[in-house]
Amino acid sequence: SLFQIDNKGNHLLVHEESSINVPAIAAAHVIKRYIAQAADELSFEVGDIVSVIDMPPKELTSWWR
């Protein structure tokens, strides 16, 4: 198993095939708290750092991974 550290210093157990090991193409610093509204959304706290691993063209989707 692999271990990763999240942006708050907590250890996470990661599976080999997890997308957490995909290199980021961009990063964002969260400045406003967001609480997930659906099962496929993420919650963010102020101060979190978000790694973007895929930014499809806007004409295909408005969602990033």
DSSP string, 8-21: TS-EEEE-TT-GGG
Contact between residue 35 and residue 41 where contact means Cβ atoms under 8 Å apart = no
Contacts of 25 (CB under 8 A, 6+ apart): 52, 53, 54, 55
pLDDT computed for residue 24 by the predictor: 80
State residue 14's pLDDT score: 56
Share of the chain above pLDDT 90, in %: 15
The predicted model gives 8-19 an average pLDDT of: 59
Calculate the average pLDDT of the chain: 78
Please give the pLDDT value at position 1.
43
Distance CA(12)–CA(39), nearest Å, equals 20
Question: In DSSP terms, which residues pair with 51 in a beta bridge?
Answer: 27
